[in-house]
Structure 1
Protein backbone atom coordinates (compact mmCIF):
# COMPACT_ATOMS: atom_id res chain seq x y z
CA UNK A 1 0.00 0.00 0.00
CA UNK A 2 1.39 3.38 -0.97
CA UNK A 3 1.31 6.34 1.40
CA UNK A 4 1.07 9.85 0.05
CA UNK A 5 2.26 12.83 2.10
CA UNK A 6 1.15 16.39 1.59
CA UNK A 7 3.87 18.65 0.30
CA UNK A 8 5.73 20.39 3.12
CA UNK A 9 4.73 23.77 1.68
CA UNK A 10 1.16 23.14 2.87
CA UNK A 11 2.11 22.46 6.47
CA UNK A 12 2.71 26.10 7.47
CA UNK A 13 -0.81 26.92 6.32
CA UNK A 14 -2.20 24.11 8.45
CA UNK A 15 -0.20 25.26 11.48
CA UNK A 16 -1.44 28.83 10.98
CA UNK A 17 -5.05 27.62 10.81
CA UNK A 18 -4.62 25.60 14.02
CA UNK A 19 -3.02 28.58 15.78
CA UNK A 20 -5.90 30.87 14.79
CA UNK A 21 -8.43 28.25 15.92
CA UNK A 22 -6.67 27.87 19.28
CA UNK A 23 -6.53 31.64 19.82
CA UNK A 24 -10.21 32.01 18.93
CA UNK A 25 -11.19 29.21 21.33
CA UNK A 26 -9.14 30.73 24.16
CA UNK A 27 -10.65 34.17 23.53
CA UNK A 28 -14.19 32.77 23.46
CA UNK A 29 -13.54 31.04 26.80
CA UNK A 30 -11.97 34.06 28.50
CA UNK A 31 -14.58 36.64 27.44
CA UNK A 32 -17.43 35.25 29.60
CA UNK A 33 -15.07 34.81 32.57
CA UNK A 34 -13.93 38.43 32.26
CA UNK A 35 -17.52 39.66 32.01
CA UNK A 36 -18.44 37.66 35.11
CA UNK A 37 -15.49 39.17 37.00
CA UNK A 38 -16.62 42.70 36.07
CA UNK A 39 -20.16 42.01 37.26
CA UNK A 40 -18.95 40.45 40.52
CA UNK A 41 -16.58 43.37 41.13
CA UNK A 42 -19.30 45.96 40.54
CA UNK A 43 -21.67 44.09 42.82
CA UNK A 44 -19.00 44.16 45.54
CA UNK A 45 -18.68 47.95 45.10
CA UNK A 46 -22.45 48.37 45.47
CA UNK A 47 -22.60 46.11 48.53
CA UNK A 48 -19.65 47.97 50.08
CA UNK A 49 -21.57 51.26 49.90
CA UNK A 50 -24.57 49.61 51.57
CA UNK A 51 -22.33 48.19 54.31
CA UNK A 52 -20.79 51.59 55.11
CA UNK A 53 -24.25 53.18 55.30
CA UNK A 54 -25.56 50.40 57.53
CA UNK A 55 -22.64 50.44 59.97
CA UNK A 56 -22.48 54.23 60.21
CA UNK A 57 -26.17 54.23 61.14
CA UNK A 58 -25.31 51.88 64.01
CA UNK A 59 -22.64 54.30 65.25
CA UNK A 60 -24.65 57.48 64.56
CA UNK A 61 -25.38 58.23 68.23
CA UNK A 62 -21.75 58.74 69.13
CA UNK A 63 -20.55 59.81 65.70
CA UNK A 64 -17.46 57.66 66.20
CA UNK A 65 -17.29 56.14 62.74
CA UNK A 66 -18.06 59.45 61.00
CA UNK A 67 -15.25 61.11 62.92
CA UNK A 68 -12.73 58.42 61.99
CA UNK A 69 -13.83 58.40 58.34
CA UNK A 70 -13.25 62.16 58.15
CA UNK A 71 -9.62 61.59 59.14
CA UNK A 72 -9.04 58.29 57.36
CA UNK A 73 -6.09 57.67 55.07
CA UNK A 74 -8.06 54.87 53.48
CA UNK A 75 -10.98 52.48 53.98
CA UNK A 76 -11.15 48.74 53.39
CA UNK A 77 -14.68 47.28 53.17
CA UNK A 78 -15.63 43.59 53.17
CA UNK A 79 -19.42 43.50 52.72
CA UNK A 80 -19.77 39.74 53.14
CA UNK A 81 -17.24 37.76 55.17
CA UNK A 82 -18.61 34.31 55.87
CA UNK A 83 -17.71 30.78 56.93
CA UNK A 84 -16.94 28.38 54.12
CA UNK A 85 -18.15 25.41 56.19
CA UNK A 86 -19.38 24.33 59.61
CA UNK A 87 -16.55 24.07 62.18
CA UNK A 88 -13.90 23.69 59.47
CA UNK A 89 -12.91 25.44 56.28
CA UNK A 90 -12.29 28.93 57.59
CA UNK A 91 -13.93 32.04 56.19
CA UNK A 92 -13.45 34.44 53.30
CA UNK A 93 -14.94 37.46 51.60
CA UNK A 94 -14.21 39.89 48.77
CA UNK A 95 -13.95 43.61 49.31
CA UNK A 96 -12.64 46.97 48.13
CA UNK A 97 -10.11 49.48 49.38
CA UNK A 98 -10.11 53.21 48.63
CA UNK A 99 -7.51 55.80 49.60
CA UNK A 100 -7.69 59.50 50.39
CA UNK A 101 -6.31 61.59 47.53
CA UNK A 102 -4.30 64.80 48.11
CA UNK A 103 -7.41 66.92 47.35
CA UNK A 104 -9.32 65.19 50.16
CA UNK A 105 -11.57 63.04 47.95
CA UNK A 106 -11.49 59.24 47.75
CA UNK A 107 -9.90 57.51 44.76
CA UNK A 108 -11.03 54.47 42.79
CA UNK A 109 -11.39 51.12 44.56
CA UNK A 110 -8.90 48.29 44.35
CA UNK A 111 -10.26 44.79 44.94
CA UNK A 112 -9.15 42.45 47.72
CA UNK A 113 -9.95 39.06 49.24
CA UNK A 114 -9.88 38.47 53.00
CA UNK A 115 -9.38 34.96 54.40
CA UNK A 116 -9.14 33.54 57.92
CA UNK A 117 -8.66 30.13 59.49
CA UNK A 118 -11.44 28.35 61.33
CA UNK A 119 -10.02 29.03 64.80
CA UNK A 120 -12.07 31.71 66.51
CA UNK A 121 -14.82 31.54 63.91
CA UNK A 122 -16.63 28.50 65.27
CA UNK A 123 -18.65 30.34 67.92
CA UNK A 124 -21.26 32.94 67.12
CA UNK A 125 -20.32 33.76 63.55
CA UNK A 126 -21.80 32.71 60.24
CA UNK A 127 -21.31 35.95 58.30
CA UNK A 128 -20.24 39.51 58.93
CA UNK A 129 -20.00 42.93 57.29
CA UNK A 130 -16.72 44.67 58.09
CA UNK A 131 -15.35 48.18 57.59
CA UNK A 132 -11.68 48.81 58.32
CA UNK A 133 -10.84 52.50 58.77
CA UNK A 134 -7.14 52.95 58.02
CA UNK A 135 -5.80 55.84 60.10
CA UNK A 136 -2.06 55.97 59.38
CA UNK A 137 0.42 55.81 56.53
CA UNK A 138 1.85 52.71 58.21
CA UNK A 139 -1.56 51.05 57.98
CA UNK A 140 -1.92 51.98 54.30
CA UNK A 141 1.56 50.69 53.43
CA UNK A 142 0.88 47.43 55.25
CA UNK A 143 -2.40 46.75 53.43
CA UNK A 144 -0.81 47.62 50.07
CA UNK A 145 1.69 44.80 50.50
CA UNK A 146 0.93 41.73 48.40
CA UNK A 147 -0.08 39.89 51.58
CA UNK A 148 -1.18 41.68 54.74
CA UNK A 149 -1.85 39.84 58.00
CA UNK A 150 -3.86 41.66 60.65
CA UNK A 151 -2.05 41.91 63.95
CA UNK A 152 1.37 41.27 62.42
CA UNK A 153 1.87 44.31 60.16
CA UNK A 154 -0.14 47.04 61.89
CA UNK A 155 -1.92 47.78 65.16
CA UNK A 156 -5.65 47.13 65.05
CA UNK A 157 -8.56 48.06 67.32
CA UNK A 158 -12.25 47.20 67.25
CA UNK A 159 -14.85 49.95 67.10
CA UNK A 160 -18.21 49.75 68.88
CA UNK A 161 -21.19 49.06 66.64
CA UNK A 162 -24.58 48.62 68.27
CA UNK A 163 -25.46 46.95 71.54
CA UNK A 164 -24.31 43.50 70.41
CA UNK A 165 -20.76 44.44 69.47
CA UNK A 166 -17.80 43.53 71.63
CA UNK A 167 -14.83 45.89 71.61
CA UNK A 168 -11.33 44.47 71.90
CA UNK A 169 -10.17 47.84 73.18
CA UNK A 170 -11.85 51.00 74.46
CA UNK A 171 -9.43 53.42 72.84
CA UNK A 172 -8.12 53.88 69.30
CA UNK A 173 -5.17 56.11 70.19
CA UNK A 174 -2.05 54.88 68.42
CA UNK A 175 -3.93 52.26 66.40
CA UNK A 176 -3.28 52.06 62.67
CA UNK A 177 -6.61 50.44 61.77
CA UNK A 178 -10.03 50.43 63.45
CA UNK A 179 -12.43 47.62 62.49
CA UNK A 180 -16.22 47.81 62.64
CA UNK A 181 -18.57 44.84 62.38
CA UNK A 182 -22.11 44.14 63.58
CA UNK A 183 -21.21 40.49 64.24
CA UNK A 184 -19.40 40.22 67.58
CA UNK A 185 -18.63 36.55 66.87
CA UNK A 186 -16.02 37.73 64.39
CA UNK A 187 -13.74 38.68 67.28
CA UNK A 188 -14.12 35.47 69.33
CA UNK A 189 -10.76 33.80 69.84
CA UNK A 190 -8.86 36.57 68.10
CA UNK A 191 -10.00 35.47 64.64
CA UNK A 192 -9.52 38.94 63.20
CA UNK A 193 -5.87 38.97 64.27
CA UNK A 194 -5.10 36.06 61.96
CA UNK A 195 -7.02 37.29 58.92
CA UNK A 196 -5.06 37.79 55.70
CA UNK A 197 -5.76 40.34 52.95
CA UNK A 198 -4.54 39.80 49.38
CA UNK A 199 -5.25 41.86 46.25
CA UNK A 200 -7.64 40.41 43.67
CA UNK A 201 -5.57 41.27 40.63
CA UNK A 202 -7.92 39.30 38.39
CA UNK A 203 -10.79 41.64 39.25
CA UNK A 204 -8.52 44.68 39.03
CA UNK A 205 -7.46 43.66 35.51
CA UNK A 206 -11.05 42.89 34.47
CA UNK A 207 -12.33 46.31 35.60
CA UNK A 208 -9.38 48.56 34.76
CA UNK A 209 -7.81 46.66 31.86
CA UNK A 210 -5.03 44.13 31.42
CA UNK A 211 -1.79 45.44 32.90
CA UNK A 212 -3.62 47.83 35.25
CA UNK A 213 -3.92 45.49 38.23
CA UNK A 214 -1.51 47.21 40.66
CA UNK A 215 -3.44 48.43 43.75
CA UNK A 216 -0.95 51.26 44.37
CA UNK A 217 -1.74 52.78 40.97
CA UNK A 218 -5.48 52.05 41.05
CA UNK A 219 -6.17 53.84 44.35
CA UNK A 220 -4.65 57.04 42.93
CA UNK A 221 -7.14 57.10 40.06
CA UNK A 222 -10.45 58.92 40.17
CA UNK A 223 -12.65 58.06 37.22
CA UNK A 224 -14.57 54.82 37.78
CA UNK A 225 -18.24 55.68 37.35
CA UNK A 226 -19.36 52.50 39.10
CA UNK A 227 -17.70 53.76 42.31
CA UNK A 228 -19.37 57.20 42.47
CA UNK A 229 -22.00 56.13 45.00
CA UNK A 230 -19.41 54.44 47.24
CA UNK A 231 -17.28 57.59 47.28
CA UNK A 232 -20.33 59.71 48.04
CA UNK A 233 -21.28 57.47 50.96
CA UNK A 234 -17.76 57.58 52.39
CA UNK A 235 -17.62 61.38 52.11
CA UNK A 236 -21.08 61.94 53.58
CA UNK A 237 -21.15 63.72 56.96
CA UNK A 238 -17.48 64.54 56.86
CA UNK A 239 -15.61 67.49 55.46
CA UNK A 240 -13.65 65.39 52.94
CA UNK A 241 -10.65 67.50 53.85
CA UNK A 242 -7.16 65.99 54.04
CA UNK A 243 -6.74 64.22 57.39
CA UNK A 244 -5.60 66.44 60.25
CA UNK A 245 -2.70 65.46 62.48
CA UNK A 246 -4.35 63.71 65.44
CA UNK A 247 -1.16 62.52 67.05
CA UNK A 248 -1.89 58.98 65.96
CA UNK A 249 -1.67 59.56 62.23
CA UNK A 250 0.84 61.44 60.14
CA UNK A 251 -0.12 64.02 57.53
CA UNK A 252 -0.96 62.62 54.13
CA UNK A 253 1.84 62.87 51.59
CA UNK A 254 1.16 63.85 47.95
CA UNK A 255 0.55 60.75 45.90
CA UNK A 256 3.40 59.91 43.50
CA UNK A 257 2.62 60.27 39.83
CA UNK A 258 1.69 57.11 37.98
CA UNK A 259 1.31 56.42 34.26
CA UNK A 260 -2.05 57.50 32.89
CA UNK A 261 -4.48 54.65 32.42
CA UNK A 262 -7.93 54.35 30.93
CA UNK A 263 -10.40 55.52 33.57
CA UNK A 264 -13.52 54.09 31.95
CA UNK A 265 -14.73 50.81 33.42
CA UNK A 266 -14.73 47.78 31.18
CA UNK A 267 -18.22 46.93 30.01
CA UNK A 268 -19.30 43.29 30.35
CA UNK A 269 -19.08 41.60 26.98
CA UNK A 270 -22.05 39.91 25.42
CA UNK A 271 -21.93 36.18 25.54
Structure 2
Protein backbone atom coordinates (compact mmCIF):
# COMPACT_ATOMS: atom_id res chain seq x y z
CA UNK A 1 0.00 0.00 0.00
CA UNK A 2 1.24 3.49 -0.84
CA UNK A 3 2.24 5.66 2.06
CA UNK A 4 -0.66 7.71 3.35
CA UNK A 5 -0.37 11.50 3.13
CA UNK A 6 -1.15 13.78 6.07
CA UNK A 7 -4.18 15.18 4.23
CA UNK A 8 -5.54 11.68 3.64
CA UNK A 9 -5.09 10.79 7.31
CA UNK A 10 -6.73 14.04 8.41
CA UNK A 11 -9.72 13.48 6.12
CA UNK A 12 -10.01 9.94 7.45
CA UNK A 13 -9.91 11.24 11.01
CA UNK A 14 -12.68 13.78 10.45
CA UNK A 15 -14.89 11.22 8.69
CA UNK A 16 -14.46 8.50 11.30
CA UNK A 17 -14.92 10.82 14.29
CA UNK A 18 -18.37 11.65 12.92
CA UNK A 19 -19.16 8.14 11.77
CA UNK A 20 -18.19 6.53 15.06
CA UNK A 21 -20.33 8.66 17.39
CA UNK A 22 -23.01 5.91 17.59
CA UNK A 23 -20.25 3.42 18.46
CA UNK A 24 -19.44 5.34 21.61
CA UNK A 25 -23.02 4.96 22.79
CA UNK A 26 -22.81 1.22 22.15
CA UNK A 27 -19.45 0.77 23.86
CA UNK A 28 -20.12 3.10 26.77
CA UNK A 29 -17.51 5.20 28.57
CA UNK A 30 -17.02 6.13 32.23
CA UNK A 31 -15.27 9.27 30.99
CA UNK A 32 -18.25 11.10 29.53
CA UNK A 33 -17.79 14.87 29.80
CA UNK A 34 -20.08 17.85 29.27
CA UNK A 35 -17.25 20.29 28.54
CA UNK A 36 -18.25 23.06 26.16
CA UNK A 37 -15.36 22.72 23.68
CA UNK A 38 -13.99 19.66 21.86
CA UNK A 39 -10.49 20.45 23.14
CA UNK A 40 -11.55 20.46 26.78
CA UNK A 41 -13.54 17.27 26.26
CA UNK A 42 -10.35 15.58 25.04
CA UNK A 43 -8.39 16.87 28.05
CA UNK A 44 -11.09 15.79 30.50
CA UNK A 45 -11.43 12.38 28.87
CA UNK A 46 -7.65 11.89 28.96
CA UNK A 47 -7.57 12.72 32.66
CA UNK A 48 -10.47 10.38 33.34
CA UNK A 49 -8.95 7.53 31.29
CA UNK A 50 -5.74 7.85 33.30
CA UNK A 51 -7.62 7.87 36.59
CA UNK A 52 -9.68 4.85 35.55
CA UNK A 53 -6.50 2.86 34.98
CA UNK A 54 -5.44 3.67 38.55
CA UNK A 55 -8.83 3.04 40.14
CA UNK A 56 -9.34 -0.31 38.43
CA UNK A 57 -5.65 -1.29 38.67
CA UNK A 58 -5.51 -2.20 34.99
CA UNK A 59 -1.90 -1.17 34.55
CA UNK A 60 -0.01 -2.10 37.74
CA UNK A 61 3.17 -0.30 36.70
CA UNK A 62 1.43 2.89 35.55
CA UNK A 63 3.07 5.24 38.04
CA UNK A 64 6.47 3.62 37.55
CA UNK A 65 6.18 4.13 33.79
CA UNK A 66 5.08 7.74 34.28
CA UNK A 67 7.98 8.35 36.66
CA UNK A 68 10.50 7.04 34.13
CA UNK A 69 8.89 8.43 30.96
CA UNK A 70 10.00 11.61 29.22
CA UNK A 71 6.52 12.15 27.78
CA UNK A 72 3.23 10.36 27.21
CA UNK A 73 0.57 10.33 24.51
CA UNK A 74 -2.99 9.65 25.69
CA UNK A 75 -5.77 8.80 23.25
CA UNK A 76 -8.85 8.25 25.46
CA UNK A 77 -11.31 7.35 22.68
CA UNK A 78 -9.89 5.44 19.73
CA UNK A 79 -12.41 3.75 17.46
CA UNK A 80 -12.09 1.09 14.82
CA UNK A 81 -14.76 -0.23 12.50
CA UNK A 82 -13.31 -3.05 10.43
CA UNK A 83 -14.07 -5.86 8.07
CA UNK A 84 -10.99 -6.92 6.07
CA UNK A 85 -10.00 -3.24 5.70
CA UNK A 86 -10.54 -1.04 8.74
CA UNK A 87 -10.01 2.56 9.77
CA UNK A 88 -8.84 3.56 13.23
CA UNK A 89 -8.95 7.14 14.49
CA UNK A 90 -8.85 9.12 17.71
CA UNK A 91 -7.94 12.53 19.12
CA UNK A 92 -5.60 12.78 22.08
CA UNK A 93 -2.97 14.76 23.93
CA UNK A 94 0.78 14.76 24.42
CA UNK A 95 2.26 15.81 27.76
CA UNK A 96 5.98 16.03 28.55
CA UNK A 97 8.13 16.79 31.57
CA UNK A 98 9.76 20.20 31.86
CA UNK A 99 13.30 20.77 33.14
CA UNK A 100 12.07 20.45 36.74
CA UNK A 101 10.52 17.04 36.07
CA UNK A 102 6.91 18.24 36.33
CA UNK A 103 4.38 17.48 33.62
CA UNK A 104 3.58 20.15 31.05
CA UNK A 105 1.11 20.52 28.21
CA UNK A 106 -1.18 19.29 26.83
CA UNK A 107 -0.51 19.45 23.11
CA UNK A 108 -3.30 18.06 20.93
CA UNK A 109 -2.63 15.19 18.55
CA UNK A 110 -4.62 12.98 16.20
CA UNK A 111 -4.00 9.32 15.55
CA UNK A 112 -5.20 7.85 12.26
CA UNK A 113 -4.46 4.64 10.45
CA UNK A 114 -5.60 1.99 8.02
CA UNK A 115 -5.52 -1.72 8.87
CA UNK A 116 -5.39 -4.48 6.27
CA UNK A 117 -5.80 -8.10 7.25
CA UNK A 118 -8.17 -10.65 8.74
CA UNK A 119 -10.28 -8.67 11.15
CA UNK A 120 -13.85 -7.88 12.02
CA UNK A 121 -16.06 -6.12 14.51
CA UNK A 122 -16.29 -2.79 16.28
CA UNK A 123 -13.73 -1.63 18.80
CA UNK A 124 -13.32 1.26 21.22
CA UNK A 125 -10.24 1.69 23.36
CA UNK A 126 -7.91 3.99 25.23
CA UNK A 127 -4.30 4.05 24.05
CA UNK A 128 -1.31 5.26 26.06
CA UNK A 129 2.13 5.63 24.49
CA UNK A 130 4.95 6.17 26.97
CA UNK A 131 7.94 7.94 25.39
CA UNK A 132 10.88 6.89 27.50
CA UNK A 133 13.61 9.28 26.29
CA UNK A 134 14.30 12.46 24.32
CA UNK A 135 14.73 10.52 21.08
CA UNK A 136 11.23 9.05 21.30
CA UNK A 137 9.77 12.50 22.01
CA UNK A 138 11.73 14.06 19.13
CA UNK A 139 10.52 11.31 16.78
CA UNK A 140 6.88 12.00 17.68
CA UNK A 141 7.29 15.77 17.33
CA UNK A 142 9.09 15.26 14.03
CA UNK A 143 6.36 13.00 12.65
CA UNK A 144 8.75 10.05 12.41
CA UNK A 145 6.59 7.51 14.25
CA UNK A 146 4.76 5.31 11.76
CA UNK A 147 2.40 2.57 12.91
CA UNK A 148 3.37 -0.30 10.63
CA UNK A 149 3.50 -4.08 10.56
CA UNK A 150 1.90 -4.21 13.99
CA UNK A 151 -0.33 -6.82 15.61
CA UNK A 152 -3.23 -5.42 17.61
CA UNK A 153 -2.94 -5.84 21.37
CA UNK A 154 -6.29 -5.84 23.17
CA UNK A 155 -6.49 -5.42 26.94
CA UNK A 156 -9.97 -6.16 28.30
CA UNK A 157 -11.95 -4.29 30.92
CA UNK A 158 -11.20 -6.75 33.68
CA UNK A 159 -8.99 -7.13 36.73
CA UNK A 160 -7.78 -10.52 35.51
CA UNK A 161 -4.01 -10.29 35.10
CA UNK A 162 -4.18 -12.56 32.06
CA UNK A 163 -5.85 -9.67 30.24
CA UNK A 164 -3.20 -7.11 31.07
CA UNK A 165 -0.13 -6.34 29.09
CA UNK A 166 2.32 -3.92 27.55
CA UNK A 167 4.61 -4.23 24.61
CA UNK A 168 7.82 -2.44 23.69
CA UNK A 169 7.43 -0.93 20.25
CA UNK A 170 10.94 0.28 19.42
CA UNK A 171 12.94 0.04 22.63
CA UNK A 172 12.19 3.57 23.79
CA UNK A 173 8.39 3.47 23.55
CA UNK A 174 5.94 1.43 25.61
CA UNK A 175 2.31 1.19 24.50
CA UNK A 176 -0.73 0.14 26.51
CA UNK A 177 -4.17 -0.58 25.10
CA UNK A 178 -7.34 -0.67 27.21
CA UNK A 179 -10.09 -2.10 25.04
CA UNK A 180 -13.88 -2.06 25.26
CA UNK A 181 -16.15 -3.62 22.70
CA UNK A 182 -15.96 -6.59 20.37
CA UNK A 183 -13.03 -7.08 18.03
CA UNK A 184 -10.70 -9.80 16.87
CA UNK A 185 -7.99 -10.22 14.30
CA UNK A 186 -4.42 -9.74 13.15
CA UNK A 187 -3.57 -6.90 10.81
CA UNK A 188 -0.92 -4.77 9.16
CA UNK A 189 -1.21 -1.11 9.86
CA UNK A 190 -0.12 2.14 8.30
CA UNK A 191 -0.74 5.42 10.04
CA UNK A 192 0.72 8.17 12.15
CA UNK A 193 0.47 10.54 15.10
CA UNK A 194 -0.17 14.10 13.87
CA UNK A 195 -0.12 17.43 15.72
CA UNK A 196 -3.53 19.14 15.72
CA UNK A 197 -2.41 22.73 15.12
CA UNK A 198 -5.99 23.98 14.92
CA UNK A 199 -6.94 22.60 18.34
CA UNK A 200 -3.70 23.87 19.90
CA UNK A 201 -4.30 27.39 18.58
CA UNK A 202 -7.91 27.42 19.75
CA UNK A 203 -7.09 26.01 23.20
CA UNK A 204 -4.24 28.42 23.95
CA UNK A 205 -5.68 31.44 22.15
CA UNK A 206 -2.72 31.96 19.81
CA UNK A 207 -0.22 30.10 17.67
CA UNK A 208 2.53 28.71 19.87
CA UNK A 209 5.17 26.15 18.95
CA UNK A 210 4.64 22.64 20.28
CA UNK A 211 8.02 22.63 22.02
CA UNK A 212 7.22 25.91 23.77
CA UNK A 213 3.95 24.47 25.06
CA UNK A 214 5.76 21.39 26.35
CA UNK A 215 8.92 22.97 27.78
CA UNK A 216 7.63 26.16 29.43
CA UNK A 217 4.67 27.17 31.58
CA UNK A 218 4.25 30.53 29.84
CA UNK A 219 1.06 29.50 28.06
CA UNK A 220 -0.53 27.17 30.61
CA UNK A 221 -4.31 26.85 30.35
CA UNK A 222 -5.82 26.65 33.87
CA UNK A 223 -8.56 24.32 32.61
CA UNK A 224 -5.91 21.67 31.89
CA UNK A 225 -4.63 21.69 35.47
CA UNK A 226 -6.06 18.34 36.53
CA UNK A 227 -4.27 16.43 33.76
CA UNK A 228 -0.66 17.18 34.83
CA UNK A 229 -1.68 16.59 38.45
CA UNK A 230 -3.08 13.19 37.52
CA UNK A 231 0.10 12.34 35.59
CA UNK A 232 2.09 13.20 38.70
CA UNK A 233 -0.19 11.02 40.83
CA UNK A 234 -1.49 14.03 42.76
CA UNK A 235 -5.11 13.99 41.59
Q: Same fold (TM over 0.5)?
A: yes
Residues in 1 aligned to 2:45 and 2:98: alpha-carbon distance in whole angstroms: 23
2:224 corresponds to which residue?
227
Say which of 52, 55, 58 aligns to 1:54. Answer: 52
How many angstroms does 1:148 deviate by?
A: 2.9
How many angstroms does 1:58 deviate by?
A: 4.1
| Matched position secondary structure for 2:120 | coil
Residue 43 in structure 1 maps to residue 38 in structure 2? no
- The Cα offsets for residues 216-256 of structure 1, whole Å up to 9 and x where unpaired, read as 22112332211111111110079xxxxxxxxxxxxxxxxxx
Structure ID, larger Rg: 1
| Matched position secondary structure for 1:130 | strand
Residue 206 in structure 1 maps to residue 202 in structure 2? yes
Instruction: Give the count of matched residue pairs.
Output: 193
Residues in 2 aligned to 1:139 and 1:79: alpha-carbon distance in whole angstroms: 21
Say which of 73, 78, 85 aligns to 1:81. Answer: 78
**Contact 1:120–1:187 at 8 Å: present in 2 too?**
no
- The Cα offsets for residues 152-208 of structure 1, whole Å up to 9 and x where unpaired, read as 9xx9x9797753646474xx59721111122287894255x6341000000011112
2:173 corresponds to which residue?
177
**Root mean square deviation, CA, Å:** 3.5
**Residue 81 and residue 186 in structure 1: after superposition, are their counterparts in 2 closer, same or farther (change >3 A)?**
farther
Residue 65 in structure 1 maps to residue 59 in structure 2? no
| Matched position secondary structure for 2:136 | helix
**Contact 2:73–2:93 at 8 Å: present in 1 too?**
yes
Residues in 2 aligned to 1:220 and 1:200: alpha-carbon distance in whole angstroms: 18
Say which of 211, 216, 222 aligns to 2:211. Answer: 216
Residues in 1 aligned to 2:54 and 2:117: alpha-carbon distance in whole angstroms: 26
**Residue 40 and residue 65 in structure 1: after superposition, are their counterparts in 2 closer, same or farther (change >3 A)?**
same
TM-score normalised by structure 1 residue count: 0.60
1:244 corresponds to which residue?
none
2:104 corresponds to which residue?
107
Residues in 1 aligned to 2:119 and 2:106: alpha-carbon distance in whole angstroms: 31
The unaligned stretches of length 5 or more in structure 1 are 1-37, 239-271
| Matched position secondary structure for 1:122 | strand
Could you list the runs of 4 or more consecutive aligned residues of structure 1 that deviate by over 6 angstroms after TM superposition?
157-161, 184-187
Residue 129 in structure 1 maps to residue 141 in structure 2? no
**Contact 1:139–1:176 at 8 Å: present in 2 too?**
yes
Residues in 1 aligned to 2:184 and 2:139: alpha-carbon distance in whole angstroms: 21
1:116 corresponds to which residue?
113
TM-score normalised by structure 2 residue count: 0.69
**Residue 64 and residue 226 in structure 1: after superposition, are their counterparts in 2 closer, same or farther (change >3 A)?**
same
Q: Which one has a larger percent strand, Structure 1 or Structure 2?
A: 2
Residues in 1 aligned to 2:96 and 2:87: alpha-carbon distance in whole angstroms: 28
How many angstroms does 1:124 deviate by?
A: 5.2
